[in-house]
Chains A and B, each alone.
Chain A
C-alpha cells in the first residue's frame, strides 16, 4: 500500500513536469499571453516587460501584468518560478534588468528608480519581519513618521482594533503567537496607507489550522481597508480562496491570469491545468459532432471552445479525477476503456486511484472511501463530467513520448 502510494505521487510529479516542458517547447500558439487590461483608468500597478536575472540565471522574463484598484491579485506558482522576485521588484527591494514598474501611472522602476521608502508600498514579509526590539504598538507606528503624536496614537489604535489586537499593543513580537504576529505585520504595513499592499507567502509560517482562519481574516481586513493587494503563494488552495484574480506563474513568466474559477476550469496551458488540482489528459479524435476517446465519445458541445480547424485532428481532453469513475470491475466485452488500478492514494474522505488503460494512458479517478473499488486489478472507466471540458492540441505533447507517435 505504502509503496503504491509512493509510486502514485512520483508519477504524478513526473507527469506535471512533462506537461510543463511540453508547454514550453510547443510555444504559445493556442495560449494567449496575459491580456492587457481593457480599461487603464483604474489600474494601480502595471508591470511592463519586467526581466531580472541573478548571474546567468534568468528569474523573471518579460513579465507584464496589471493590477486594478481594490482587487486582491495572487501570483501563484511553484518554488523558484520567480514570484517572490517579482514582488521584490514591485517593492523596490530589487532593481529590474529590463522593463518597467508603474504605480498609479508613475514609473518607479525602469528609466528612473524610486527607492522603496518613497514608493508607498506596504509589504507583509514571509516571516513577518517584525522588529524584535519594538513592541507591537511601536512596530505599527514605525512607518508613521513626521506626524503628531496624537495622530500616531489614534492611527495605531485604529489599526490594532482592525486586526483585533487592541489588548496586545505592549507585547513584544516573541510574546505573540504566529497568528498575532501576522496581524501585527499586516497592521504595520497598512499604517502608512500604502497605495498597494504586497504579501509574500503570508500564510506559509502558520500552522495548517490557523492558515484557513487567517486567510479569511486577512481577506476581510484587506477588503475593509479597500487597499489594492498583490499576494504571492505556491499554495493553490490559498490562492483560489483569497484572490479576486489569480496569475499563474511558471519559469519567470505568467502563464494565465483570471478569476479563480475561470483559471481552474479553463486552464489555457497544460502547466496551469496540472498545477491547479489533479489533471489527467485523455487522448481523443475530433470526429464530427463528437470526440472519440478511450473513455467513450464526448459530445462536441461539451468541449470548451473547440474551433472548427481542429476537425479530424487529435486532441487531449483535460479530465479531473471527479470527472471519471469506475463503471464496473469487469472488463469483458469492453475494449477501449478497460484498465488496471496501479496505485491508490488516501485523501481522507476519498480515494484517488491511478488507472492505467490498456492503451497505456494513465488516468486518475476519485471515489468515496466507502465505495468498493479494489486497489489493484481490472476496472472499466467512464467519463461522467457534467461540465465543459478543457482541451489541448495533441502536438503539444512531448515529442519523445512514443505513446503519442502515429
Chain B
C-alpha cells in the first residue's frame, strides 16, 4: 500500500541520505567550523531558491521607491503635472477625458499610460505612490515591532500583576474593530495637530496615519514575544545567569533577546505587507492621503471609479501590488524556514 503521504516521506528520506555523506565529507576534510546561528540561517536561506528570488524582488521594490526622484527625473515627468493641459501633449485625452491612445494611453512618452480626467502620468504616480506606501509601512512596522517587543518582554519577564494587566490591555485593544477604528480616528487625530479651519499638510496626515495604526498595530507582536519570553524565563541558562549575579537588564539583553529574534523577524516580515495594505485601505476609502499626494491605495479608488471606461488604468498598480504582497509572503515563509528548519511547509 503506497499512500501519497508515504511517498512523500520516502523522498524526504532520500534527500536526507544525500545530505549525510556531504556533511561527513566536510568533517573529514577540514576541521569542524563553528557557525553562528545567523550564519547557519544565511546558508539555509541561500539554498532556498524561492527565498532568494523573492528577496531580490522585494529589494527591487525598495530600491525603486528610494530612487523614485532619480528615476522620474531621468524619465522626465512627475506625478503632479496635468499633462493633458500641457501644450506639448495636445491629444492626450479624448472628448470624454479618457486617454486617447490604446490600453490606457500607453506610449513611449507615457510608459504606463495616462490617468483619465486629469491626465497625469501613471508611471510616476505609481512610483511615488509606492514610495509613500513603502516608507510609511516601514516606519509603522519598526514602531509596532518595537512597541510589541517591549510590552511583550516586560509582561513575559516580570510576570505577575504587570503581566496580567498588560495582557488584559492587549486583549482589550485586540477586540477593537481595527479598520473602523482607523476610519473613525483619522479626523480626530488630525484635529489634535491642525485646527479645523486650516488645510491639513501632507506630513501631518502621514503622522496621523502612523499614530492611528501604531496604536492598534503592536498587539500581535506583544503576544508572540510574551509567550516566547515566558517559556524562556524558566530555562536553565537564564537561571544560571541569574545565579551568577547577572542584572535583569543583562539577562533580558544577552540571554533572552537573542533567543526570540527569530519569531520577531518572521512576524515582522509578515507585518510589513499587511501595513501596506492597511494604509492602502485608508486611502482607498478616502480617509488616508488625499489629492494630490501620490498614493498607491488611492490609485485603486480612482481606478474603481473609471474602470468601466478605462480598465487599463488599474492594471499596473494592481499587478505591482499583487506581486509585492505575493513576494513578501513567500519571503516570510522562506525566512521562517531558514531560521527554523523544523517547521516544514
Same complex origin of A and B? no
| A positions within 8 Å CB-CB of B | none
| B positions within 8 Å CB-CB of A | none
